[in-house]
Amino acid sequence: MDNIEKLENGIGAIYHEIGHVFGYCLANKDENLKLGDINSVCIGFEKNYVGCYSSLYHFKGKEEGNTKIKNNTKNFERTIAWIIEVVSGCTFQALFEKVNFIKCFGPEYGKSGQLDAFNIIAIRPYSSFKFTYHTVLKIQNEYEKLLIGYNVIEKIKPIINEIKIIISKSPNFQIDFEKSEIEIYVSKCNELITTEFYSDYKKLIQNFC
């Protein structure tokens, strides 16, 4: 299999990372839900990652980290928005690939969403917002319905195709976006978030508070 064919077979990974970008965009539109500005988007054969400047829901297991998680999860709405962001990657990928969400998401080795699942599993014992793995799946299911209802996966296709072309022309088929490039794709994702969509997103969050 040559690199172009490998890229074509791996488009789901592009949907996955842009799904995370979209999840951040949703949360960051509301100050109460804001997760932080994105500072890293890497997509390609070597690594796939989306990160932000703040680390509200990440820690290294130290006592002060546990306290931070407990305090930050007192904002239930933002915590649910964070869960949506975490599952958004696999939700986008699964919808594109037409497979069940749990084929992508879970702690099992080899799943695209293994680290995503680990992130949620890690904070759950310290979270002030009480939830189970089943809660996460229920939130994901409602979010998936929202994406389907507003045809987001189809509407985001031009962004995916644009990134695919950039990757195909990049050394080692890998891109690490500069700050200005991240801002462009954040803006393009924001253009897909209509008032009606965002209203339903906020209702979804309230339903789980």
Q: What is the pLDDT of residues 29-64, one digit of tens each?
A: 999 999 999 999 999 999 999 999 888 998 655 555
What's the confidence (pLDDT) of residue 138? Answer: 98
For the beta carbon of residue 49, count every other beta carbon within 10 angstroms: 12
Q: What is the pLDDT of residues 92-112, one digit of tens each?
A: 999 999 999 999 999 999 999
pLDDT confidence tier of residue 25, bands split at 50, 70 and 90: very high
Q: pLDDT-derived band of residue 3, with 50, 70 and 90 as boundaries?
A: confident
Q: What is the pLDDT of residues 56-67, one digit of tens each?
A: 998 655 555 688
In the chain, where the domains are located:
3-207
**Measured CA distances, 57 to 77, 148, 149 (Å):** 13, 28, 29
What's the pLDDT at 67?
87
